[in-house]
Structure 1
Amino acid sequence: MAGNKFWGGDSSSSDSDSDSDSEEEEKPVAAAAAPRKMARWAEASSSEDEGVAQRRVVRSHTDKKNEQMLEGIKVMKNHMKIDDYASTITDYESLLRMLEKLRLQMEQDGGPPKAFIKAIGSLEDYVEKQHEEIQEKKQKGIKLPDNKNKAFNTLRAKVKKGNKPFADDLAQLHADPDAFQSDEEPEASDSASEASAEGERSSSSDSSSSSSSSDSSSSDSDSDSDSSSDTGSASSDSDSDSFDSSGKSDTSDGDGDEDLVRERKMLRWLITPEKLAERERKAELAKAKEAENKAKEKEKRDRKKEKGEDGRSTATGRERKGKDEPEEYTSKELTNKVTEITQQRGRKAFDRKAYMDKLQKLLVHAAKHGPLEQLYIYASMVSADFDNTGSAFAAMKIEMWNEALTKVNKMLPLLVESHNNIKNGTADEKSAEQNTDVEDPKSHTRLQELYLAYVEKLDDELYKALQFNSDVYGSEYHEILANSSKCLVLLNRTLRFYETVGQPQPLGEVASRLMEQLYYKPDSLNARVYEAVPHTMSDEKKEDWIWPDDSKAYMGKLCHYVWATGDQRLRRRACLCQAYHLALHDCFQPARDLLHLGNFQEQAAESDVHTQILYNRVIAQIGLSAFRLGKITEAHNCLMDVCQYNKGRELLAQGLSYAKNMERSAEQEKAERQRQLPYHMHINLEVLESAQHICAMLLEVPNMAMQAIDPSNKRIISKVLRRALETYDKQQYTGPPETAKDSVVAAAKDLQRGDWAKACAQLEGLQLWHHIDTNHPENGEKVKAMITEKMKVEALRTYLFSYASIYDAFHLDQLVEMFNLDGRQVHSTISKMMIKEEITAFWDESSKYVLVQHVEPTPLQRLAITLAERAVQAVENNERLVDLKTGGFAFKDAGRSQPGLNTDSGKGGKGRMGKGFDMKADQKGAKGKGRGKGSSFGGQPVRRAGGWENARAGALRGGTGQRGWSTGIRA
């Protein structure tokens, strides 16, 4: 035949059909030995090189996956027979993965393969049976090895979880096992099919040879026309097509028949019924898509004609698609549909609006199945809203925040309904089982945790929006701040729900969030917010929105909820919030006691940065509370910790403080910006600094006046004020004060002269009096009047310290008139000074005159004392230099009196060490060797009970010893 030459046959082969069988058997051998010609047309198969003709068996992708699944089931059953739990886990997981690849077939068949259902059913029965046997063995004292016991527990948990989606199919299996036998036939007959494989291939080759002989002419013509176009595809498809698993074929039909060989080679281009069905399906899909596109174009044109718009909306198209959806969903189908829709999140070209519309339509079906299905859909919608939260420094848009808030508000009634169903026992058995499984995405516990997470996320995003808004006076900031009342409503409703449920952990977390919203606001502001909220509510809910009269007790109740959680960080923050709220409402003593009893000073150092900032805010607010109450010393101690070194802005997280020698990296600056507080939570720094300077003035000015007559008093209360006064004295020209600090310094200079009226006038224009009391702004005048009285008293004390050495007596009425004070107050002030031994005076019998005892040192004695102190300092410096060179450090000479003696007798004789030796004081103590009265205490003077009499006597009697100076005044 001419065709045989074209298809790669040898030109010497015979064309007649009357050749003998022996000739037919010899020709393939000769053809295999001879060099092949035109191999690119037909002789590309490796099986032909071996002289074996292999029949191609065409199988679909689904058939391959089914065979793999059956093989996996067989392997799993073998592992179950030998109780290999670890391998059974692997087999079970691989079966579930295979089932995912058969999703298209499952949708067509209406469920998973019956062989799979039967396999997992048998595995479940096997696991339960093994569990019972293991329990019986445990009762007898026989235990499995640890690794095997762990593997079995893992297998049991995975089977229990993995079989839940197929609960309905497993119920049918237990009800009618015979209905699940059809899919097992291939597995049972694997050996039979392998045994008869050769017979089937031989019979199929016979039938194909008969059919090919009748159509040889047509096939030749087809191959001639298509050979040029299909050569490349044939070579590429030959590797991907699946052939028969056996590498041998029955060649008894006549290996020398060239027609049969050619037909076998052409089978790779054979069009099977499966391929025809696939082509028809693709063609139908293409036609349907084309018709849908035409309908869309027509719809757009119609909308343009009717509305004159560009046709962006696709509502009609969505309605048309909705008609294809089923009218009713089962619970399982609804869950699968929601899961399928949620998997679109994060993909390219994700349309959020279409996503929300799809889930919104499913809510109608979910309402028929109970609250859990609706909660599951709402949770999916809120999760998509939070996808647009932005970065760490970019907050969620307020429009998106409001949309998420609306959905979360709708979740709460459904959560209450689900809880009531569980509590009353009205939930069905399946739902009750779901509620107890935390890992089930539709369980009540899981959805409740998601709801709480959404509430916290909304609170965090609102805080971030306020935190990173730079225009604090703009309308945008005010709009965001107005939404804080909505967040407050959500937190209150959530708190009441968890109070009803009685779950301490989530209740404490919500109470902590609520305290963070309320602690820095005065009662007047909170009361107004609570009055404005109920206008949008029903009458029965308005009772819940009444701000309590005793807000401190309410904050204590919330703190008690937080304390029950056991979280140390939440506990600390709750107590600090409570202390801040107490101090804000002038409860200074309870706030200070709360800090001291809780030892928060040490705990704050071990806490995170945000808790340390809250602690600094509490200290600042306690200082302001003490200032409002007239506790000047306590207020100065608190405010000095915050305002010292000009770091109040940084310590309170109200801005970044920039110094000349301070350099920050980009990471440090980002971290500091991330911990900044929103503007509406700031404490007025000018108020803090003004209050601190006024307290320093009231304490330091009398102290400086007392040090003028008592040089041994080295106490410094406020270095900042002293430096400011020194700078003020060095100025050649002093203009009117410009800042609050300048006003206080000017008032301090007037107070030093005893001119209290002018000092009060200097403080008249401060903004402090308008902002000192945020709860009751009208109390600013009361605070100013109180500070004026304090200034009068301190002016009296300063006057007595400065001029007591000049006068022999003071008349009470004269002092009352000079300082515009009440007589009883003047009497009380002077009496306190006498008791503290600040002045040496006493009242006469009528208590109208203050009789002054002139025991103060004279000017000459003061100069002598000053000279003695400087001489002691010089000797000390010289001896330190000698000790530094010799290495003695004041302990080399044992016969010398050691420095730093702390004894009342002061008899530090030669060769003896006095009592009360102080190692720390040794570094600063004087080097006195004399026998004068008095004692040395670290170079710092300490006032003794003898007052100025002992000091003066010690100075007069003190003399020079063997080495150095003796200073009895250093008591």
Structure 2
Amino acid sequence: MSRFFKGSDSESDSSSSDSEVNVPRPGASAARPVAYAFSDNEDEPKRIVRSAKDKRFDELTEIIKKMGNHKKIKDMSSVLTDFEELGKAYEKSKKVIEKEKQIPRFFLRCLVELEDFVSECWEDREGRKQMSKNNAKGLTTLRQKLKKYNRDFESEITSYRENPDEEEEEVVMDSEAEESEEESREDFMKSKTREESKPSKRVTYDDDDDDDDIDWEMSSDSSSSESDGGEGGGTTVYTAAMFLKKQPGEEKKDKKDKKEKRVRRKAEEDEGGEWEEVTKGAPMVKEAPKMFAKDTEVNHEAVIKKLNEIISARGKKGTDRNEQIALLTELQSISNANNLGPAISMKIMFNIVAAIYDYNPNIATCMRSEMWEKCLKGVSELLDMVEANPDINIGENILEESENVTTSPYRIRGCILTVVERMDEEFTKMLQACDAHSTEYVDRLKDEKDVCTVLDRLQTYLVPRGTTEEICRVYLRRIEHLYYKFDPEAYDNPQLENQSFKDMEEMCKYIYAKDLTDRLRTRSMLCQIYHQALHDRWYQARDLMLMSHLQDTIQHSDVPTQILYNRTMVQLGLCAFRKGMIRDAHNALVDIQSGGRAKELLAQGLLLQRQHERTPEQEKIEKRRLLPYHMHINLELLECVYLVSAMLIEVPYMAAHEMDARRRMISKNFHHVMRMSERQALTGPPESMREHVVAASKAMKTGNWKECKNYIINEKMNAKVWELFYKSETVQEMVTSKIQEESLRTYLFTYSSVYDSLSLETLADMFEIDQGIVHSIISKMIINEELMASLDEPTRTVVMHRTEPTRLQSLALQLSEKVSSLVDNNERIMELKQGNLFFQKSGNMQDRQDRFQSNYQQNRNQNWQDRRNQRQNYSQRTY
């Protein structure tokens, strides 16, 4: 039957049931789940697909954020942990960064900020003292690791510091891209939720409705759903236009609209003020507020009031020191523009220089180079003002209430000498902080000429009008810049009156006569001795040192004066060596070299201490005492001179007292070096300076002077040591002649028992010395009773007297002494074992010792008497 046939109700029911569209009723459960249906549960997590770059960069950002929180509370151990995690996360992100071919700017910003934060914490000495042990340890470790880690990013960090504004552009672009992605994602999710949350249009009708009505309603629903774009139907219809890319102009317009919305949204969220958009490029510099109001009259009172206002902020926390210097400079220019007089300008200049000195709050560190240039320029300008205005009375004893800056004669509180002394100290600190082998050190050292010029001008100003104390202080400053400088003209012509020697002598004499403190007198005397010894004026330097008696009282002086004393003694020893005074040179250098702390005693570096560690405060104090590199004395030259002097003295003495078990050591350091060489199983050719001296000493023991000379003077030793002397050829000739003479003495001590007589001519040919020198050497040895011999003038021979014991006799005497001591010890042990009291046999032991001592004394007296008789018989036979 046709479905459109209008029949009875039953027929219509049956026909409708045959062709009925199955529409689920409300509350009825579906027989089968609909495929691709969206879930109604909003609590399920939304899956977001993220790239590897986003994952890695988000991980880095989280670590940086956590590090920032730890930096705020200065939890240095946690900051160290965060830094290590950041390094590991960066290693994981290396593949992503290599694809990008650029290190992220936020990572570089983190490294730069962390470096500044660590340096700020390290310079804050008081803050470090208050840190806990873990935080202090974490700060030290973090500083070392960060310094090492940042070497790999040195060029990137430098470029970032030069132009940190690039990061803002990148951050804005990244944030725009992220927000556009988020907004598109939100639009999509909103449309999806609307589809799911909107109730679907279900067809409900009564039994008496027509089929036509049903068909019309369904067709209208489907058409409406298609026209709505998926908003009203149960299924979403996507068109091709939804996936097309927008035109470039439309995309930029959308981004601009979103950016404006974002700015408005932030402005609405902010309660307290308005937001303004940051423009690209360098920040706009706002005009500084004017020094004085528009209608204010600029006079002395207003300027002084403003000056006191600026100075009152000095030393307070949060004071910008750069701004303070700028304000004082501007105030001085305003004062000069209004012609307020030289006194007020000079007063402001004093405060400008003081503000420059205050710029660096840490006294242990030096100025920056730009601040040093400002300081030098400011002190020069101050001296110009002082010299140009003699009517201005300057003194540190003038009270501020009694100052007069309006009318002449002017009175100002200040001390130009203190300003110049502080400048000199800052110059020394800058040289200490520079690397001695860098061009920066050379550039800073060039400023010494300007510093000396300032000192000369200060001396010219103070001598007519200063007190004796001020003149002594400025004289000492000049002496300390002069005493260590070598003048070749004064060395070559010691008879001429050199200007440096004249100035040094005049200034030292004034200090000796006028100084009321021992410190200035002591330092000036040591400087004069050093200067004399540097130019080989040995006798003047030696006499001045002996007359001063400083060696008796120097231990009571301050540490810098003791360091100057050590330097002076070393220079005296080098001068004595150059002059051929070997024993004097050894005596001057033995105290410095015996302890192995020459570097520390001369303030040329710090040594590691095994017994106890220095505290950070002690280390800073000792580093502050170190001398600049251009004032150093070469330590290898010093050690070589000492060991060569010890060799020339000790080797002949060892040969003369070879059988004497109780011989004393002249040089313990030399014996230590010799012992260390003898302990070596295999001895190769000498390489270092010490090994050369040891090899030369072994050659001298056998009288082989040529081999000894070749070990001491050769190309290797010349480059290391001897060429450091001025006119090194003269020094080498002197060393060669001393080696010949001492080798002759050693030969005579060693082999005198073998010969009956020796020809002077043979000895002169063997050691290549003049016969007169050989004759004088042997005569001295005979007079000093070092050699038992006599000179036969007609035959030009040395006749040996066999009064000395032979080697066998000497060994026998040593053996008898050791056996007697061993017997005594055994007797004491036996007496203690048997329980007898020691005093029972002490009388017998004492008698035995007395008899041995008397016999030994009688034999010794008899030997001396025999020698004297032989000498008298020989003299009677000769004359």
TM range (shorter): 0.5 to 0.7
For residue 358 of structure 1, report the CA deviation from its aligned partner: 2.2
Mapped pair 1:574 → 2:524: yes
Q: Give 1:652's match in structure 2, choosing from 584, 593, 602.
A: 602
Q: Which amino acid in 2 is paired with 1:415?
A: V
For residue 455 of structure 1, report the CA deviation from its aligned partner: 0.6
Query: Are residues 607 and 441 of structure 1, via their aligned partners in 2, closer, same or farther at CA, if it must alter by over 3 Å?
Result: farther
Q: Give 1:863's match in structure 2, choosing from 775, 786, 811.
A: 811
- Equivalent residue number for residue 19 of structure 2: none
Check the 8 A contact 2:376/2:423 in 1, yes or no: yes
- Equivalent residue number for residue 755 of structure 2: 807
For residue 596 of structure 1, report the CA deviation from its aligned partner: 2.6
- Partner SS for 1:932: helix
Query: Are residues 948 and 811 of structure 1, via their aligned partners in 2, closer, same or farther at CA, if it must alter by over 3 Å?
Result: farther
> What do residues 90-131 of structure 1 show as CA deviations (whole Å, max 9, x unaligned)?
xxxxxxxxxxxxxxxxxxxxxxxxxxxxxxxxxxxxxxxxxx
- Equivalent residue number for residue 294 of structure 2: 324
- Equivalent residue number for residue 677 of structure 2: 728
- Equivalent residue number for residue 470 of structure 2: 506
Check the 8 A contact 2:347/2:412 in 1, yes or no: yes
> What do residues 899-930 of structure 1 show as CA deviations (whole Å, max 9, x unaligned)?
xxxxxxxxxx89xxxxxxxxxxxxxxx87654
Q: Give 1:336's match in structure 2, choosing from 292, 295, 305.
A: 305
Length-normalised TM-score, structure 1: 0.54
Indicate the larger mover: 825-834 or 410-419. 410-419
> What do residues 161-180 of structure 1 show as CA deviations (whole Å, max 9, x unaligned)?
xxxxxxxxxxxxxxxxxxxx
Q: Give 2:481's match in structure 1, choosing from 517, 540, 551.
A: 517
- Equivalent residue number for residue 846 of structure 1: 794
Check the 8 A contact 2:459/2:471 in 1, yes or no: yes
Indicate the larger mover: 491-500 or 853-862. 853-862
- Equivalent residue number for residue 360 of structure 1: 332
Q: Give 1:463's match in structure 2, choosing from 424, 428, 431.
A: 428
Query: Are residues 475 and 845 of structure 1, via their aligned partners in 2, closer, same or farther at CA, if it must alter by over 3 Å?
Result: closer
RMSD (CA atoms): 4.1
- Equivalent residue number for residue 638 of structure 1: 588
Mapped pair 1:391 → 2:391: no
Q: Which amino acid in 2 is paired with 1:724?
A: V
- Partner SS for 2:799: strand
CA distance in 2, matches of 1:548, 1:404: 37
For residue 778 of structure 1, report the CA deviation from its aligned partner: 4.3
CA distance in 1, matches of 2:454, 2:684: 56
CA distance in 2, matches of 1:717, 1:492: 47
Length-normalised TM-score, structure 2: 0.59
Query: Are residues 880 and 788 of structure 1, via their aligned partners in 2, closer, same or farther at CA, if it must alter by over 3 Å?
Result: farther
CA distance in 1, matches of 2:410, 2:518: 25
Superposed counterparts of 1:240-319, under 5 Å: 311-312=284-285, 314=287
Mapped pair 1:484 → 2:437: no
CA distance in 2, matches of 1:404, 1:353: 11
CA distance in 2, matches of 1:948, 1:748: 36
Check the 8 A contact 1:363/1:377 in 2, yes or no: no
Check the 8 A contact 2:392/2:411 in 1, yes or no: no
CA distance in 2, matches of 1:440, 1:764: 71
Q: Which amino acid in 1 is paired with 2:788?
A: T
- Partner SS for 2:857: coil
Superposed counterparts of 1:1-80, under 5 Å: none
CA distance in 1, matches of 2:306, 2:398: 23
Query: Are residues 668 and 778 of structure 1, via their aligned partners in 2, closer, same or farther at CA, if it must alter by over 3 Å?
Result: closer
For residue 447 of structure 1, report the CA deviation from its aligned partner: 4.7
Aligned length: 582
For residue 599 of structure 1, report the CA deviation from its aligned partner: 2.0
> What do residues 642-664 of structure 1 show as CA deviations (whole Å, max 9, x unaligned)?
11131111211211222544533
- Sequence identity, in percent? 35
- Equivalent residue number for residue 419 of structure 2: 454
Query: Are residues 667 and 829 of structure 1, via their aligned partners in 2, closer, same or farther at CA, if it must alter by over 3 Å?
Result: same
- Partner SS for 2:522: helix
For residue 876 of structure 1, report the CA deviation from its aligned partner: 7.0
> What do residues 369-425 of structure 1 show as CA deviations (whole Å, max 9, x unaligned)?
3x3222101111111111113413311112212212212112223323444567xxx
- Equivalent residue number for residue 52 of structure 2: none
CA distance in 2, matches of 1:576, 1:485: 23
> What do residues 848-897 of structure 1 show as CA deviations (whole Å, max 9, x unaligned)?
111111111133321221123324544676799899999xx999999789
- Equivalent residue number for residue 855 of structure 2: 932
Check the 8 A contact 1:579/1:618 in 2, yes or no: yes
> What do residues 646-687 of structure 1 show as CA deviations (whole Å, max 9, x unaligned)?
111121121122254453333333332232222222111100
- Equivalent residue number for residue 241 of structure 1: none
- Structure 2: runs of 5+ lacking an equivalent: 1-275, 871-879
- Equivalent residue number for residue 794 of structure 1: 742
- Equivalent residue number for residue 438 of structure 2: 474
CA distance in 2, matches of 1:671, 1:435: 31
Q: Which amino acid in 1 is paired with 2:742?
A: E
CA distance in 2, matches of 1:584, 1:877: 57
Check the 8 A contact 2:398/2:412 in 1, yes or no: no
Query: Are residues 581 and 435 of structure 1, via their aligned partners in 2, closer, same or farther at CA, if it must alter by over 3 Å?
Result: closer
Check the 8 A contact 1:896/1:929 in 2, yes or no: no
CA distance in 2, matches of 1:881, 1:683: 57
Check the 8 A contact 2:803/2:867 in 1, yes or no: no
Q: Which amino acid in 1 is paired with 2:328?
A: M
Query: Are residues 506 and 408 of structure 1, via their aligned partners in 2, closer, same or farther at CA, if it must alter by over 3 Å?
Result: same
Check the 8 A contact 2:789/2:799 in 1, yes or no: yes
Check the 8 A contact 1:897/1:928 in 2, yes or no: no
Mapped pair 1:753 → 2:722: no
Query: Are residues 662 and 524 of structure 1, via their aligned partners in 2, closer, same or farther at CA, if it must alter by over 3 Å?
Result: farther
- Structure 1: runs of 5+ lacking an equivalent: 1-296, 423-430, 528-546, 899-908, 911-925, 937-942, 954-971
CA distance in 2, matches of 1:891, 1:496: 83
Q: Which amino acid in 2 is paired with 1:796?
A: L
Q: Which amino acid in 2 is paired with 1:402?
A: E
Q: Which amino acid in 2 is paired with 1:359?
A: L
Q: Give 2:384's match in structure 1, choosing from 413, 426, 430.
A: 413
For residue 725 of structure 1, report the CA deviation from its aligned partner: 2.8
> What do residues 909-967 of structure 1 show as CA deviations (whole Å, max 9, x unaligned)?
89xxxxxxxxxxxxxxx87654325299xxxxxx99975957999xxxxxxxxxxxxxx
Check the 8 A contact 2:566/2:592 in 1, yes or no: yes
CA distance in 2, matches of 1:631, 1:806: 32
